[in-house]
Structure 1
């Protein structure tokens, strides 16, 4: 079974590689995510179908963590997102994620960041 730090490392590794299938595999079947832009997402199958469209939204996407704080099965990660919309417009945003990890899977994720930089996605 993976510990929380390993799950977090893989979360960012897979996201930055654009490996959204393996990224989704990190979540429990009955996961819940409160995502700043997409709202509440319940269930890994729904998450997987949403993530299938990432290549259409972003020409590039990178989320680089700077601080990991882990306390048992809870964690917080401070990171920076650098991306380009499908039309090439830059996106730069500081982010903060809160995770609950049980039995080596993410059961809950709350994502917080400035939404202003992501408005270019609706303009693309």
Structure 2
């Protein structure tokens, strides 16, 4: 396993352990976070706020992880299954009632100097809405 692959695995192991500080330690100070349905966010502090919001609304574990890394180790991608429980209503999304969901998702990364500089996450929001409605 190369350094970038190990970094991505460490990032997601921290996610599954709900070790938010462990996740943040994998990120560059000026990380760019491109969320599925929203504007890009910059910096660890905004990422920390995102994690706190997500932790309030969702309880998720990722399984079936596949990590792919470019030859120069500067880019990576991960594909996985999100297994979750919708805990608290998130904005204008359907009301939360403890519904469970399971859907495929993926993320793309830029890596530099041993840190993740960009995280871009994708999933099918309409499928998630169908599952929790």
Please confirm whether the aligned pair reaches a TM-score higher than 0.5, indicating the same fold: yes
Displacement over 6 Å in runs of 4+: none
- Mapped partners of 2:32, 2:128: distance in 1: 22
1:9 aligns with 2:9: yes
Task: Name the CA shift for 1:54/1:9 in 2 (closer, same or farther; >3 Å).
Answer: same
- SS for the counterpart of 1:13 is helix
What residue is the counterpart of 1:82 in the other structure? 83
Q: Normalising to structure 2: TM-score of the pair?
A: 0.80
For each residue in 1:19-57, what CA deviation from the matched residue of structure 2 results, as whole angstroms up to 9, or x when unmatched?
112112211011101110343111111111221233310
Deviations 1:93-117 (A, max 9, x none): 1111111111111001111111124
Secondary structure of 2:22's counterpart equals helix
Question: Which one has the largest radius of gyration?
Answer: 2
Choose between structure 1 and 2: higher strand proportion.
Answer: 1
Pairing 1:67–2:77 present? no
What is the RMSD computed on CA atoms of the aligned residues?
Answer: 2.1
The normalised TM-score by structure 1 is 0.85
| Map of 1:56 onto structure 2 | 56
Deviations for 1:63-95, whole angstroms, at most 9, x for unmatched residues? 124321111121111111010010311122111
- Residue 52 of structure 1 aligns to a residue whose secondary structure is helix
Conservation of the 8 A alpha-carbon contact between 2:34 and 2:40: yes
Structure 2: distance between partners of 1:114 and 1:16 = 20
Asked if 1:98 is matched to 2:84, the reply is no
Unaligned runs of 5+ in 1: none
Report the number of matched residues.
120
